[in-house]
Chain A
Amino acid sequence: MIFSLAIYAPPYTSQASDSAYRFALALLENDHTLYRVFFYQDGVHTASSLSTPPQDEIRYTQNWQTLAQQHKIDLVVCIAAALKRGLLNQQEASRYDKPAFNLAEGFEISGLGQLVDAAVMSDRLITFGG
């Protein structure tokens, strides 16, 4: 089956982000396909390259990057939610004349339509909210 996940909660603040990651691992271990992970609302914070958790805590940004690379998963961050929360890629930072950009590699900024596309193209869409 083809799955997509919608993640609306940030890592560390809420357990939802961790639950989503564990669900992703399980579905891939069971030989299903993960079409897209769509980060919306505070979930966009997962894509920050500046996230620096303590050594003994899980590194969600890196974990998603690794998983996406291994399984060719589309990690999409909603542009509207990202910009207002200070998650910018290089293009947006340049467009808005910001001093830096921080979108982690492997994550792509795009519109809400990608969530709808995920719903259309997947057999199952699972939401993880905080």
Chain B
Amino acid sequence: MNQTPSKKLLFISRHAPYGSSIAKDALDAVLASSAYDQQLSLLFMDDGVFQLLANQSSDGIGQKSFSAILPVLPLYEINSIYVHYESLLKRQITINELVIDSVQIIDSAAICSLLAEQDQLLSF
């Protein structure tokens, strides 16, 4: 596709699942990006952390479940999946309630540093 060196792309997903399409649209963009041989990372923060809850049964609202989609992310060349600690804390979500166990829980200061390392931020 291109001769440029690979870039560090961080997808930031901040919206709750189902109420708007933003969360699903973010995931679709993340999955599409895996074909481009870049250094990809994904950060869940604010209401975005709700996407990671296990036991989502979304048939009743006619949407695909995030609990079913998210576990495949580690198979898609996503370097790192980060979850904002303070967002989990505010929503009283514990790590054992999350549907992926290979995530890195990081605090606000670490997110600050994470942003500074990126070449592009894809904001969702």
Chain A residues at the B interface, C-beta cutoff of 8 Å: 6, 8, 40-41, 80-81, 111-113, 115-117, 119-122, 125, 127, 129
Contact = CB atoms under 8 A, between A and B. Distances in A.
Given A116-B33, A120-B9, 9 more contacts: A111-B32, A112-B32, A113-B33, A115-B29, A116-B36, A117-B36, A119-B7, A125-B121, A127-B123
A115 B32 contact: yes
A68 to B, nearest CB: 22
Interface of B: 1-2, 4, 7, 9, 21-22, 25, 28-29, 32-33, 35-36, 38, 120-124
B122 A81 contact: no
A9 B85 CA distance: 29
Interface SS of B by simple majority: mixed
A116 B1 CA distance: 11
A6 B38 CA distance: 19
Given A40-B25, A41-B25, A81-B25, A117 B1 contact: yes
A116 B29 contact: yes
A119 B32 contact: no
Nearest to B9: A119
A115 B123 contact: no
